[in-house]
Amino acid sequence: MIKRDYYLNRLIHNMWNGEIKVITGIRRCGKSVLLFDLFYEYLLSQDIKEEQIIRLELDQRKYYKYRNPITLCDYVDSIVNSKKKQNSICL
């Protein structure tokens, strides 16, 4: 696997700037490796738990419906809200 340190460092450096990141490139140039392997491993090394990371491969048929931004947003909201309920403490 090619490390792609330049792109990984740019992604890490800008990850909290409030802007959406779009990774583009020709087929098979390493976009998925960058996100699903390298950036994922970086997040885990920063003590981010696996269950806090949402991973969707939009080119897989079972995830096609999430290509619609409204459906995707609803899906992410449902996961975040269910995690909040699980982690809340009732007194």
**Enclosing domain of residue 73:** 55-91
Residue 2 is predicted with a pLDDT of 81
Residue among 36, 90, 82 at smallest CA distance from 59:
36
Residue 87 is predicted with a pLDDT of 66
Residue 17 is predicted with a pLDDT of 94
- Backbone phi and psi for residue 60, each to the nearest 5 degrees, phi listed first: -85, 140
Helices (H), 1-91: 5-13, 31-32, 40-45, 69-87
Residue 40 is predicted with a pLDDT of 96
Q: Please, what are the averages of pLDDT over each run of 10 residues along the chain (91 residues)?
A: 89 93 91 94 95 91 96 94 70 47
With 0.95 as the threshold, say if the pTM is over it.
no
Q: Are residues 64 and 42 in the same domain?
A: no
Domain total for the chain? 2
Q: Are residues 62 and 29 in the same domain?
A: no
Residue 16 is predicted with a pLDDT of 93
Per-residue tokens: 85: 């309920």
